[in-house]
Chains A and B, each alone.
Chain A
Amino acid sequence: MSSKKNSRKKRKALNRRLPAEKHKKKDAIDDTSRLTPGKFQSRSSGFADEVNRLISKNKIKAAVGRAKLHHKRLGTAESELVLVDAYVARIREMMAKGFTVEAKTLLNLVRGRYNCPDHLIAELNGVIAIRQGSLDELVRPLDDPDCPQDKRAAIEKTIKNELIDLSLLAHCDALPAGHPLKTAALATAKAFARVTSGFVRDEEVALPAVSRRSPLAPWKILIRALASFYRHDDEICEKYLNAVDPESAPGRLVPLIRELIAGQSKVGLDKSSTFLAEKVVGNNKTTRDALERLDAVMAANKPRKLFKAVRKAVDACEQSCPELLVRLKQHVSIRSWMFDVDAEDVSRAMGGPSLKNAYFWLLHARAADIMGKYLWACALLEEFRKHALYEGWFSEKSREVSVIYLYMVDLLGRLPAEDFEWLQSGFKREFTGFESYYHGQQGSVLEALREDNPSAVDMYFLYPARLYRLASEIDPAADTFRQWLEWAENYTSHWKHSDAVATAWHAAIPDDSRPLLYLTTSAENRNAFKKALGYLEKAERIDGLNPDVKKARLRLLAATAIRHLKQKKTHLAQKDLAEIEAMPQFDEGDRPAFLVALKSVCAALDGQKSQLNRLNDALINLLESPVTAKVVMQGVLRACGLSDRQINLPAHTKAPMTSDDLSIALARGCQLGDDMGIPITIPLAYEKKLRNFFTTEDSLHDTATIRIIAETALRNKHFELAYAAAGVGLVKQGASTARFLLLRARSLPTWEIERQDDCLTAAIELARRERDLDLIDEAIELRRNGNRMPFGFSLFNGMIGEDKPSMDAEELNDVLEFEKKAREYPSHYMSDNFFGDYDDDDDDDEQSDCRYCDAKNCRDRKAPYRPDDLYAEEFDDDIDDFPDFNTLLDDFLPDLPPELMSLIMKVFKKHGRNGSFPDPDELARKDPWLADQLQREMQKAETDGALPDLGQNLFPGRRSRKTKRKQR
């Protein structure tokens, strides 16, 4: 009751107020009439703006209310126009809501009361007619040839912007049969139905009846866009979508099609659009959720929940993304294999086994590769090859197959050399094929194996030589031959194997001089100079301007001269030297000095002392330093099989030398030796001096010199000098920083594994930035295999996702700063970590300091630990392979210096035959540098008293074949 009373009171109060309000309004109108035209216009336009603002905000009812009030007050033509605009907006709103009848009634009302522009009335009537499904009234004027152009344009605009059901136009009675618009509408409706029902060719929906000016032109473009959309030609589709008039009826679909292409979320779409989107591209939310759950279960490693998650994922996928089911099952199978889950259980959870097609085998091979099961991966790749051939991925003799073979070689190369044969034979014994995988498989899968012989599995994939041969037969690329040759050179027991590869290379690519150069060097190493010359002449005919070929001629002549000097046949050597002198390439760099050194040996052998002294002086003049002259002369003497005492070496300089002068002098000598193929060694006295220089101060000279010193030091096993030189190079910074990091890694003791890895990773990162592919290869090789792997080459080096070493900028900077500061060579095992924050249990154990035993006071604990010592340790495991050496090791291992031990191991590995030490002469011929190193170490050990009688037995010095025959 009280509320009624209150409302009554309010009403009364309102009524009491109304007369006053009315008076106010009247006054206002009177006031308005008194306004000047300018003021009136501004007032009127202010109201119009307000109404328009309300319309634009979609507050149509309020807009009509304001316009009515405004018109009541003003009663002008302008205010009437504003009111009509508001009513038109209201009519449109009603039509949009589907109240077509109400809209028509309101339109008639407005038309009767106010002055409406004719075009507006016509347009609204047209829209209402289209919505009511009767186009006759609207389109009738189009058949009248006297219809004014603007009226025709208005009708066409209404058709373009409002007509959705094309059949209305196609079958309207107002237009005669055969009217172009009717024909076009019919063709367009058919094309639209066709394009949304199945794949169509462009010419099927060309629509020549629809011109560019036709009101149906947007439909024509939409149809082409849809054809491209269904063909997944999204780029072309986008071009068509851009061409559709956004105001036209087909233009309303453009944003939706764009969303479908982008695969965006369907949130915010109207009901019909959502329905369409789900029908066309599907709703994979359920599948996505199920897959995310499966991923979470796998990441959490919860085997109990795995099967349930697999079941749910498979069910969801089957329902909403059936085309994904095969792939999903394959991935689940492989991931379960990686987790070591029983295949039968997984198969049951998936409701059946996964399809064993080519993709499955490739996925399996990659999984085996990731798991480090390389032999298994090779077998899986072979299975992939068979299925891929059957499924038409590529043809049998295609390049792809060649790459698969090289991938297999790469996988085999990751196995440790010392275990390779053992692993290979074990796999051969145990591998029985993949028969169990094929239970319950489709006929098409089994068809791929039709030609297989189940009783005899061809395990060619376990043999690198066979793989290389197959790869090169299919694709005789120089790179394949190069890899094969380097493999043969390093991992086959006889030079004939390598020569056979080089010969095959030459036969396949006759224009390539590289195999000929290899054959030249190989023949030269066997002292088959005539043969070498023959190969070289061939190479010169093919590529005479190649610097390597030119250099080979010079080196071959130098080697011939050295051989003659070794044989004391100075008259022949003189001829060789004259020939060398006549060569144009002889004048380059320090090569004349090398000739002088050879002439000195000639003079010494002929006993021409005055000539020798003259030549010595000339040598010092040419090389501008007695130090350089001395190291070069020493190298030449050793190459000629002579000792330092047999010739007066250039005298030491009395003047004190700075570190820079000394390093430049030595680097120059080393460079000349490298150029002419003569190993140059840094004398111990110089080595010590340089090491001290490099450890305590930064050299002023260029990084090239430091690099030569570091590399020569590494070759000479002067790790401490190499370490110090690399440190100086790092301080200098610049483009060679990556190279010096690599040298630092190589010079570190083997037990500094983490530090080595950090240096190598940092080197790779820097080299990647500088695009130095050679350095990256070298570093990856060292990082992955060191020098202990059989076929260390990786075809897949640097590939994305392939155990890619990476380091961010901060880490890189840390490594660089640490290495720059670390000038002292690590002389004992460090338990603290590189960055000082790593606490490994193994490192804490003091007993682990010794690499030989657990004794706390073992003397080896204090001994410097060289990288090659690990090499020696690894060989201990393979001792059974070398029965003779076994006894030797048992007897002498504790007494042999580690450097010597390492060299002996290296000789055994590289040149040992059936457990016996190679013939010293053969060793000196095949590997003069190694022979030289061994002799030096043995002499050193003998001087130090660290060598018992072993020396003479093991390496009795170089003897001629004649002497050996005499001894026999």
Chain B
Amino acid sequence: MPKNDDFPILDEKPQKILGVPDDAGTAEIRTAYLNKIKEYPPEKSPTEFERVRDAYKILSVPRYRTRLMLQSADPEAPMVTLLDNQKQNRQFVGPEAWLAAMLARCN
């Protein structure tokens, strides 16, 4: 039967390997990739380098990214992970609360 093309196989989510959020854009992915490559140069950490390169390959090819997107919804995940996956909504509370915390810390 038909085979996959050269789709890399990873034991972890590519976003996790590159340390980017699931909804990261192309620029963010590229920056993270370049940082990771600096962190794991091929001559020092060849295995990790390959993982990083494969993760980038998956995330940079639109077709592969769509495949990941389609599989990102996990109906069996524990409900509590919804909290972990959620991006914290940061509320604007005005300057007073911030200044009060600063004052308390100055003392």
A287 at the binding interface (Cβ < 8 Å): yes
Give every chain A residue within 8 A of B105 (Cβ-Cβ): 252-253, 256, 270, 273
B67 touches A324 (CB 8 A): no
Given contacts A197-B92, A331-B79, contact A232 B87 (CB under 8 A): yes
Instruction: Name the one of A253, A363, A404 contacting B98, with C-beta atoms under 8 angstroms.
Output: A253
Q: Quick one: which of B11, B62, B71, B86 has the most chain A CB within 10 A? A: B71
Given contacts A370-B76, A796-B71, A798-B9, contact A403 B86 (CB under 8 A): no
**What is the CA–CA distance of A96 and B70 in the complex, to the nearest angstrom?**
56
* Chain A residue nearest in CB terms to B77: A331
B27 at the binding interface (Cβ < 8 Å): no
Q: Quick one: which of A292, A482, A795, A802 has the most chain B CB within 10 A? A: A795
A792 at the binding interface (Cβ < 8 Å): yes
**What is the CA–CA distance of A689 and B81 in the complex, to the nearest angstrom?**
61
**Residues A754-789 near B (CB distance < 8 A):** 768, 771, 773-774, 776-778, 781
A751 at the binding interface (Cβ < 8 Å): no
A797 touches B4 (CB 8 A): yes
Give every chain B residue within 8 A of A232 (Cβ-Cβ): 87, 90
**What is the CA–CA distance of A403 and B76 in the complex, to the nearest angstrom?**
23
Instruction: Name the one of B11, B63, B78, B86 contacting A475, with C-beta atoms under 8 angstroms.
Output: B63
A640 at the binding interface (Cβ < 8 Å): no
Given contacts A97-B107, A253-B101, A272-B100, contact A196 B79 (CB under 8 A): no
Give every chain A residue within 8 A of B92 (Cβ-Cβ): 196-198, 230
Chain B 65-92 interface mask (CB, 8 Å, partner A; 1/0): 0111111011111111011001111111
* Chain A residue nearest in CB terms to B28: A235
Instruction: Name the one of B73, B87, B90 contacting A229, with C-beta atoms under 8 angstroms.
Output: B90
Give every chain A residue within 8 A of B103 (Cβ-Cβ): 164, 272
Give every chain B residue within 8 A of A490 (Cβ-Cβ): 1
Q: Quick one: which of B2, B77, B98 has the most chain A CB within 10 A? A: B2
* Chain A residue nearest in CB terms to B72: A362
* Chain A residue nearest in CB terms to B7: A798
A399 touches B63 (CB 8 A): yes
Give every chain B residue within 8 A of A323 (Cβ-Cβ): 86, 89
A800 touches B3 (CB 8 A): no
**Residues A401-434 near B (CB distance < 8 A):** 402-404, 407
Give every chain B residue within 8 A of A620 (Cβ-Cβ): none
**What is the CA–CA distance of A654 and B79 in the complex, to the nearest angstrom?**
75
Given contacts A96-B107, A486-B2, A773-B4, contact A280 B90 (CB under 8 A): yes
* Chain A residue nearest in CB terms to B93: A279
B90 touches A407 (CB 8 A): no
Give every chain A residue within 8 A of B68 (Cβ-Cβ): 799
**What is the CA–CA distance of A394 and B73 in the complex, to the nearest angstrom?**
17
Give every chain A residue within 8 A of B97 (Cβ-Cβ): 196, 272, 275-276, 279-280
Given contacts A324-B82, A328-B82, contact A272 B90 (CB under 8 A): no
**What is the CA–CA distance of A280 and B100 in the complex, to the nearest angstrom?**
14
Give every chain A residue within 8 A of B87 (Cβ-Cβ): 232
Give every chain B residue within 8 A of A367 (Cβ-Cβ): 75-76
Give every chain A residue within 8 A of B6 (Cβ-Cβ): 773
Q: Closest approach, in angstroms, between the C-beta of A745 and any C-beta of chain B?
A: 16
Q: Closest approach, in angstroms, between the C-beta of A586 and any C-beta of chain B?
A: 30
Interface residue range, chain A: 35 or more
B4 touches A798 (CB 8 A): yes
Given contacts A196-B98, A272-B100, contact A366 B74 (CB under 8 A): yes
Given contacts A366-B71, A403-B67, A801-B74, contact A291 B98 (CB under 8 A): no
A263 at the binding interface (Cβ < 8 Å): yes
Instruction: Name the one of B4, B70, B107 contacting A404, with C-beta atoms under 8 angstroms.
Output: B70
**What is the CA–CA distance of A260 and B88 in the complex, to the nearest angstrom?**
9
Given contacts A276-B101, A313-B79, A403-B63, contact A486 B1 (CB under 8 A): yes
Given contacts A253-B98, A792-B1, contact A327 B75 (CB under 8 A): no
A479 touches B79 (CB 8 A): no
Q: Closest approach, in angstroms, between the C-beta of A310 and any C-beta of chain B?
A: 10
**Residues A266-321 near B (CB distance < 8 A):** 270-273, 275-276, 279-282, 284, 287-288, 291-292, 294-295, 298, 313, 321
A252 touches B106 (CB 8 A): yes
**What is the CA–CA distance of A252 and B104 in the complex, to the nearest angstrom?**
9
A281 touches B91 (CB 8 A): yes
B86 touches A773 (CB 8 A): no
Give every chain B residue within 8 A of A165 (Cβ-Cβ): 99
Given contacts A232-B90, A272-B101, A282-B89, contact A403 B70 (CB under 8 A): yes
A73 at the binding interface (Cβ < 8 Å): no
B104 touches A800 (CB 8 A): no
**What is the CA–CA distance of A404 and B70 in the complex, to the nearest angstrom?**
8
B75 touches A331 (CB 8 A): yes
Instruction: Name the one of B3, B83, B107 contacting A288, with C-beta atoms under 8 angstroms.
Output: B83
Q: Closest approach, in angstroms, between the C-beta of A197 and any C-beta of chain B?
A: 5
**Residues A362-388 near B (CB distance < 8 A):** 362-364, 366-367, 370
Instruction: Name the one of B13, B69, B89 contacting A800, with C-beta atoms under 8 angstroms.
Output: B13
Q: Closest approach, in angstroms, between the C-beta of B56 and any C-beta of chain A?
A: 16
Instruction: Name the one of B63, B67, B101, B107 contacting A799, with C-beta atoms under 8 angstroms.
Output: B67
**Residues A323-345 near B (CB distance < 8 A):** 323-324, 327-328, 331-332, 334-335, 338
- List A residues at the B interface (Cβ < 8 Å): 95-98, 162, 164-165, 192-193, 196-198, 226, 229-230, 232, 249-250, 252-253, 256, 260, 263, 270-273, 275-276, 279-282, 284, 287-288, 291-292, 294-295, 298, 313, 321, 323-324, 327-328, 331-332, 334-335, 338, 359, 362-364, 366-367, 370, 394, 399-400, 402-404, 407, 475, 477, 479, 482-483, 485-487, 490, 768, 771, 773-774, 776-778, 781, 791-802
- 12 A-B contact pairs sorted by A residue (CB < 8 Å): A164-B103, A165-B99, A252-B106, A256-B101, A280-B93, A294-B79, A295-B80, A403-B66, A477-B63, A778-B3, A791-B1, A795-B67
20 further A-B pairs in the complex, CB-CB below 8 A; given A97-B107, A272-B100, A778-B3: A192-B95, A196-B97, A197-B92, A229-B90, A232-B90, A249-B102, A249-B106, A253-B98, A275-B100, A291-B79, A291-B80, A328-B82, A338-B75, A394-B66, A400-B62, A400-B66, A402-B63, A482-B2, A774-B3, A801-B74
